[in-house]
Structure 1
Amino acid sequence: MSSGGDNHLHNGDEPKRDEPTTPRVLTILSCVLEKLVARNDQLVLGSAQLGKSLSAFHGVRAPSITIPNYMERIYKYTNCSPSCFVVGYVYIDRLVHKYPDSLVVSLNVHRLLVTSVMVASKILDDVHYNNAFYARVGGVSNTELNKLEIELLFLLDFGVTVSSRVFESYCQHLEKEMLCNDATRVIERLAISNSVDDVTEISVEHTQTSSPPQIVD
Structure 2
Amino acid sequence: QLTKGNGVFSGSTPIGTSLNTFHGVRAPNISIAKYLERIYKYTNCSPSCFVVGYVYIDRLLHRHPDSLVVSLNVHRLLVTSVMVASKTMDDEHYNNAFYARVGGVSNAELNRLELELLFLLDFGVMVSSRVFESYCLHLEKEMLVNGTTQKIEKAFISNPVDDVTEISAENTASCSPLLSIGLS
Q: TM-score, normalised by structure 2?
A: 0.78
Unmatched 5+ residue regions in structure 1? 1-34, 185-217
Give deviations 1:96-153, integer Å, cap 9, x for gaps.
1111111000000000000000000000000000001000110000000001000000
What residue in structure 1 maps to residue 77 of structure 2?
A: 112
Q: What is the CA-CA distance between 1:46 and the residue it aligns to?
A: 5.0
Matched position secondary structure for 1:183: coil
**Aligned match of 1:170 in 112, 125, 135?**
135
| Bigger relative contact order (CA 8 A; separation at least 6) | 1
Equivalent of residue 95 in structure 2, options 127, 130, 142: 130
Matches within 5 A, 1:1-217: 35-47=1-13, 49-183=14-148
State the 4+ residue runs in structure 1 displaced beyond 6 angstroms: none
Higher strand fraction (1 or 2): 1
Query: Identical aligned pairs, as a percentage?
Result: 77
Partners of 2:42 and 2:144 in 1: CA distance: 29
Q: Distance in 2 between matches of 1:161 and 1:99?
A: 19
Q: CA deviation at 1:181?
A: 2.7
Instruction: Please give the alpha-carbon distance, in whole angstroms, between the structure 2 residues aligned to 1:142 and 1:83.
Output: 24
Distance in 2 separating the partners of 1:98 and 1:136? 29
| Distance in structure 1 (CA, Å) of the matches to 2:46 and 2:145 | 26
Report how many residues are paired: 149
Kindly provide the amino acid, as one letter, of the partner of residue 64 in structure 1. Answer: N
Please give the alpha-carbon distance, in whole angstroms, between the structure 2 residues aligned to 1:176 and 1:141.
35
Could you tell me how far apart the structure 2 residues matched to 1:178 and 1:133 are? 29
Deviation at 1:44, TM superposition (A): 1.1
- Deviation of residue 180 (structure 1)? 2.4
The AA in structure 1 aligned to 2:8 is Q
Structure 2 portions without partners, runs of 5+:
150-184
Q: Distance in 2 between matches of 1:137 and 1:148?
A: 15
CA RMSD of aligned residues (A): 1.2
Greater gyration radius: 1
